[in-house]
Amino acid sequence: MLLTEIDILSQCHSPFIVGFMEWFVHPVSIEMWIVQEYCGSGSLACLLDGGLQEDCIRAICSSLVLALEYVHVARQVCHRDVRCSRVLLTNDGHVRLTGFALAAKLPSNQAVLSESQVVGSPYWMAPEVVRESRYGPRSDVWSLGITVIEMAESAPPHSSLNPLRAMFVIPTKPPPTLADPDHWSPELLDFVRCCCQKDPSYRQDSALLTSHPFVKQQVVALQHLHAGEEVSSGANYSRLVAPRNPGLLPVRRLLEERQAKLDTMKSQRREEYAKALEIDTARIQREEEFTRALQLDATKSPQEQEFMHDLESNPHQSFSKYAAVSYDEDEFDAPRPVSVDERASQEVRRARSGSLEEAVRNLEKDFATSTACTDIED
């Protein structure tokens, strides 16, 4: 298939076909590489979020009609895989048809292929392809009509079905149409009708479609737009840098809207990333503070740790419990809190060894202090 694509692309010299430069075999991986024109805006299938506007469909469809006319008439080739994922867009709004891996050349002076093979993507296949009848370039016209529906509705007909089931439905059901005909112009509806005729003999070919009212004006505009361009192929890199006019306005507008959405998404992602960094910074600061607190707690005595724990859990009760604080004369370490009962025991011991009146005064003083603290708490 790759050799077929190289053979066909190397002979295509059209501004509506993706440019082929050269091919080579990679010296390390021993793989065959193709150098093609760079289309920075990517595949059309990536821009179908919610469907396209009719003016944009008309502009893209005009380029595809001209591309198929060139392939069918000038190159005698049947593409056999026309769909939105085979359409590329450049950054300046030009439309390029690509994906010739499944293409086949027509025999000399014949309108159909010599072999009837079921080739292509199921949802876009023409009925004669599914039935394995003799078919030719008009099968691409059916695929073009399905592609128009795909551009309008973001998905081809029967896309909810299994591909094999869809292949059974295509030749047995009536031709597909747009789900909401009132939303589209009569020209667009008629264009889809002309493309999606189940009998190939009643289906218009690509050359006749260029004069259809839906695309005629845009086709003329594209022909004037590319009238002065010399398109060549085969290692001609001058096409990449040659000055050219921008594409049609509806396509450029579509790309500008897409770029605006991407810029908005990028700014939102930057804001979310900045907020995440702030949250992580605050979390790290809290972890550092907690680590320092643990280090400070490790240096405290057991009595101080108990006092701090009670003070954090219930400050009023701890204040009443430790209303009288003194230094234990038997220890020379850091001061520790002493309860009222322990203070009373100390004063009793002091009274036995010293002045009874001083001990009584100290007890009265401690009792008055604890009573005042209890009243404050209540």
CB 141 within 8 A of CB 203: yes
Which residues is 97 bridged to in the sheet?
17, 87
Specify the pLDDT at position 282. Answer: 86
Q: In the Cβ-directed half-sphere of 283, how many Cα atoms lie within 13 Å?
A: 6
List Cα–Cα distances, 211 to 154, 200, 226, 247, 331, in angstroms. 26, 19, 18, 20, 109
Any alpha helices (H) in 154-248, and if so which ranges?
A: 163-169, 186-195, 206-209, 216-225, 238-241
pTM as predicted: 0.72
Is 81 designated active site? yes
Specify the pLDDT at position 283. Answer: 87
**Domain spanning 42-227, CATH class:** mainly alpha
| Closest alpha carbon to 71 in 138, 142, 167 | 138
Q: Which of 7, 55, 81, 205 is catalytic?
A: 81
The dihedrals phi and psi of 107, each to the nearest 5 degrees, come to -65, 160
Distance, in Å, from the CA atom of 298 to the CA atom of 176, rounded to the nearest integer, reads: 79
Q: Reduced to 3 states, what is the DSSP secondary structure of residue 167?
A: helix
**Quick one: tokens of 366?**
């401690």
Helices 249-298 and 54-69, axial angle in degrees (round to 10): 120
Taking only the tens place, the pLDDT of each residue in 227-247 is: 866 555 444 566 666 678 899
Helices 216-225 and 54-69, axial angle in degrees (round to 10): 60
**Quick one: tokens of 208?**
């006749």
**Quick one: tokens of 256?**
């500008």
List Cα–Cα distances, 300 to 297, 303, 314, 367, in angstroms. 5, 8, 20, 29
Tokens 């396209």 label which residue?
A: 52
CB 248 within 8 A of CB 86: no
Q: Reduced to 3 states, what is the DSSP secondary structure of residue 36?
A: strand
User: Which residues contact residue 322 at a Cβ distance below 8 angstroms, ignoring those fewer than 6 apart?
Assistant: 307, 310, 337, 338, 339
pLDDT tens-digit profile, the chain (378 residues)? 788 889 999 899 899 999 988 889 988 988 888 899 999 999 999 999 889 999 999 999 999 999 999 999 999 999 999 999 999 999 999 999 999 999 999 988 788 887 788 899 999 999 999 998 889 999 999 999 999 999 999 999 999 999 999 999 999 999 999 999 999 999 999 999 999 999 999 999 999 999 999 999 999 999 999 886 655 544 456 666 667 889 999 999 999 999 999 899 999 999 999 989 888 888 888 888 887 877 776 666 676 666 666 655 665 555 455 544 444 444 444 455 555 556 556 655 555 555 556 656 666 666 666 555 555 444
Specify the pLDDT at position 110. Answer: 80
Specify the pLDDT at position 198. Answer: 94
